[in-house]
Amino acid sequence: MSKKIIRNIYRVVLTVLVTLAILLAFLYGVMAMLVYGPSKTARTEFVLSVRETSAIGFLANMFVSKEEIAKIEEENSIKDTEDITDAGLVNTESLKGSDNIEVVDIKGSSFKGKLMIVDDPSRLFVGTVETFCEGDGAVVADIAARYGAVAGINGGEFVDGITTYTAMPVGLVMVNGEVLNGNDTDTYHVTGISNDNKLVIGNMTKAKAIELGIRDCVSISNTIGPFLIVNGEMQDVSGTGGGLNPRTAIGQTADGKILLLVADGRQITGMGATFADLQDIMAQYGAVNASVMDGGTSTQMYYNGSVINNPYSPTGPRSCPTAFLIK
């Protein structure tokens, strides 16, 4: 190899390294400005948004102490509740048998998304990967294909952290009345559908879920997937109600319609939605019960053979162990 070629390679490598260093310095400067700048709101949104992101959550710790982070999260959240869905508030008979599905474009100041309105709640069920395991799950489109479902959104929480298993759910999972995950002693943050096709949300044990006649359900911790509306009451929001991120939610109206909601984010078109944003949309469309599913790269809505939102990921939606599907 000639000296000229070696010099050219050296220059290219050096240029790439210098460019990366400049970009990293710029990004660090932007983050520092958000945290230490005059805007307290910008600082709060930065901390909350990155803390809700498993891949870059550590960035908040570079600028803010653990005590400050805990305080920010406490002051900007949706409070949990001990209330459980009152089945008497929902009538599921008037639209039973309808095959109508409507998809509505939604838009907020920092996000765009989709709202799917399903008339017949009996069409809602939970689909899963073939086996829960310490491995990779499946995207919603593939879970839907496994059941022949026409539509769906991503479901509950899964093992995610230093070690990630997208095929291993966290908490209680029930399908067609059968408990697929969960134990007899723990209390779970549950979202499910009952045998009489009513959305049931609340903190409960496996025994309580069975007593309430839940046929299909998933679980997700309150910090990741809070309850938005319970028995017609919007849950208490503190501060901003969370960071700006891609979000997924599910709800039900008083006449039984199922609402499936996704808000895109972490893109040029918008940073994403807060939990309070989801709550407002669900209330606007008449939800009497609503809760949040997993979000971020998991957020995805499938309909008639295609993913119809814009998931945040250059390689497509993240795999999951569970999904809420429409048959």
Q: Is residue 274 part of a domain?
A: yes
pLDDT in tens, 34-51: 445 555 555 565 555 555
Beta bridge pairs of residue 173: 181
* Residues 223 and 286 grouped into a single domain: yes
The residue written with tokens 């310490």 in the block is: 134
Residue 283 has pLDDT above 50, yes or no: yes
- The helix or strand, by DSSP H or E, that contains position 230, with its residue range, turns out to be strand 227-230
Please report the pLDDT score of residue 62 as a whole number.
58
pLDDT digits (tens, 9 = 90+) for 128-153: 999 999 999 999 999 999 999 999 99
Same domain for 195 and 283, yes or no, is: yes
Per residue in 51-69, pLDDT (tens digit) is 566 555 555 555 666 676 6
The kind and range of the H/E element at 16 are helix 3-36
User: What is the domain extent for residue 293?
Assistant: 87-326
Cβ contacts of residue 126 below 8 Å, gap of 6+? 155, 173, 174, 175, 192, 193, 216, 217, 218, 322, 323, 324, 325
Domain tally for the chain? 2
Residue 264, classed as helix, strand or coil, is coil
What residues are paired with 291 via a beta bridge? 227, 250
81 belongs to a structural domain:
no
pTM, whole model, 2 decimals? 0.83
Do 45 and 139 belong to one domain? no
Q: Are residue 134 and residue 26 in the same domain, yes or no? A: no
160 and 187 fall within a common domain: yes
Residue 80: inside a domain: no
Q: How far apart are CA 204 and CA 184, in angstroms?
A: 11
